[in-house]
Amino acid sequence: MADSRAERLYDWFDARLDLERGRTFLGKAFPAEDSFLLGEVALFCFLFLVLSGVFLGFFYEPSTSDVEYDGSVAEYQGEEMPEAFVSVLHITYTVPFGMFIRRLHHWAAHLFVASIGLHMLRVFFTGAYRNPREPNWVVGTGLAVLAMGAAYTGYALPFDEFAATATSIGYNLTVSVPLVGDFLGEIVFGGQFPTSATIPRLYFLHVLVIPSAIAVGLAVHMAILIRQKHTEAPRDGDVEAGDRTVDRDDDGVIVGLPAVPNQTAVSAVVFFLTAATLSALAGLLPVHNVAEYGPNDPAATPELIMPDWFLMWVYGFLKLLPTWLSFSVGPIHVSTEFLGGIVLPGLVFAAIVAWPFVDRTDPVHFTADPLARPRQTAVGVAAVAFVMIASIAGMNNILAEAVLGTSTGVVNPILTAALVGVPPLFAGITYLLLRGDGNGDGADPAANDDVADETAGGGSDD
């Protein structure tokens, strides 16, 4: 009886929604490889960012107008302070679960950027960006830029002394763009930083413009993935998939888990693990203490100013470039802020976007072994070393004073030499080691000439 009721219910929906057609999609296969789940972690982090951001948005006031504080932080009782700062104190110390949700929003942002970065490294080193998946690599790079933009625009919103001063670095970079810098500063910051329009502009970008762009980017990313299908690791041999045998080199079939129910169950586990990780971080680790820094004071500058870790490499460029690199051509002034904060990072992202079109191949389905691709792996190692050294340069004052007991004037030339010399050195060592492995002809033994249209899930073709 129960089955007949279920069948009738299914038939009722099938008559209206054409469920039979959807069964093909629901049977789409996903490779059962853990590293492929990094993209899902990023997706779930974005979901947590949206949900926690909606909660915070109910209590946050994007205004720099002064109001009298009458909350629970004794040291600010009765003081006139910017409404944005007061609202964050209210969220943190008065709203039920406010501190937890604020912390969760903070850690979700960091994990969002980190998971995207790790996902891109996995795609790069396994060659999963190659023909025909170049478009999705470009979209993914754009998502990485947007994720950093979302984090940056949210950084100033508490309008405390530290965050406002750190955000001013972005303003200085924006207005450094020759010819159009002031116009861009007007659009993003509402004029000279900070003005009464700065926080509303950044809030508008943070909660609407950039999240909408990320949502569209994720939709495009997923649509291309579904259209092209996943890559998968080379098989050790023929695979028994349900009632058929999939040949080891058959690139027209994906061997993995069906989207429903198997992959859905795996995704549910990843979702709850992501939630548990973020909850543990939010419960155990404090975040930016706005009460300690106090409201923004244009007349003061905190002793130690630095951006978040994912923008530290850009900060490193700014610290290492000498001021004598500035020059003028007629009315156009090119400053070191523009070179270090806009041009160099722009070249880095341009190189990332262009790489699949440099590493050209015939269409491939299987991922590659990084050890069998010495040239590409050497480039990746050099790129990672370059970003790491630039990030260390962003903390040159800590390195010099707290670690080495010297001045930044001593360590900056060393860091500059390392930024120029270490990446090619690491690339050369990597290339020679992998080529000497006897695998290093750059060929991908799993690559095939064609990408077929057929997929298989859970051991059975759809």
Task: Record the tokens describing residue 49, joined without a space.
Answer: 């960012």
Query: Model confidence at 248, in pLDDT bands (50, 70, 90)?
Result: confident
User: 232 forms bridges with which residues in the sheet?
Assistant: 366
Q: What is the pLDDT of residue 285?
A: 93
pLDDT of residue 328: 93
**Coil, strand or helix: which one is 258?**
strand
* Lowest mean pLDDT, pick from 201-205, 296-300, 450-454: 450-454
Is 299 or 121 the better-scoring residue by pLDDT?
121
pLDDT in tens, 65-94: 999 999 889 999 999 999 999 999 999 999
Residue 404 corresponds to which tokens in the numbers above?
């080495």
Q: What is the mean pLDDT of residues 173-192?
A: 93
State how far the alpha carbon of 117 is from the alpha carbons of 101, 123, 144, 148, 230, in Å: 24, 10, 7, 11, 19
DSSP 235: P
In this structure, of 36-40, 121-125, 254-258, 271-275, the range with the lowest mean pLDDT score is: 254-258
Mean pLDDT, residues 212-225 = 95
Tell me what pLDDT residue 2 has.
53
Query: Which token pair is 231?
Result: 């890559």
Q: Which amino acid is at 308?
A: D
Both tokens assigned to 233: 């690791």
Query: Is it the case that residue 308 has pLDDT exceeding 80?
Result: yes
What element of type H or E holds 7?
A: helix 2-17
- Please give the pLDDT value at position 252: 82
pLDDT digits (tens, 9 = 90+) for 368-383: 999 999 999 999 999 9
Least confident of 88-92, 219-223, 383-387, 454-458: 454-458
Q: Which of 253-257, 326-330, 418-422 has the lowest mean pLDDT?
A: 253-257
Question: How far is residue 147's CA from residue 158's CA, in Å, rounded to a whole number?
Answer: 19
Question: How much is the pLDDT for 455?
Answer: 44
- Pick the closest to residue 36 from 261, 277, 270 (CA basis): 270
- In this structure, the number of other CB atoms found within 10 A of the CB of residue 199 comes to 30
**Residue 273: its pLDDT value, please?**
97
Over 70: is that where the pLDDT of 460 sits?
Answer: no
The whole-number pLDDT of residue 453 equals 41
Average pLDDT, the chain: 89
Mean pLDDT of 249-270: 87
pTM equals: 0.89
The confidence score (pLDDT) of residue 5 equals 79
Which pLDDT score is estimated for 459? Answer: 40
Q: How sure is the predictor about 148, in pLDDT bands with cuts at 50, 70 and 90?
A: very high
Cα→Cα distances 450→9, 246, 251, Å: 42, 16, 8
Strand partners, 456: 461
More confident residue, 10 or 172: 172
pLDDT at residue 454, rounded to an integer: 42
For 60, the token pair is: 């946050």
For 326-333, the CB contacts below 8 A with 24+ separation are 332/178, 332/179, 333/178
Two structure tokens written together for 340: 């270090």
Query: What pLDDT does 437 receive?
Result: 56
Burial of 65 (0-12, 13-18, 19+ CB in 10 A): exposed
Give the pLDDT band (50/70/90) at residue 439: low
pLDDT tens-place string over residues 406-428: 999 999 999 999 999 999 999 99
**Phi–psi pair at 172, nearest 5 degrees:** -60, -35
**Residue 63, pLDDT above cutoff 90:** yes
Per cent of the chain over pLDDT 90 is 67
The C-alpha atoms of residue 124 and residue 122 are separated, in whole angstroms, by 5
The pair phi, psi for residue 349, each rounded to 5°, is: -70, -30
Res 1: pLDDT: 53
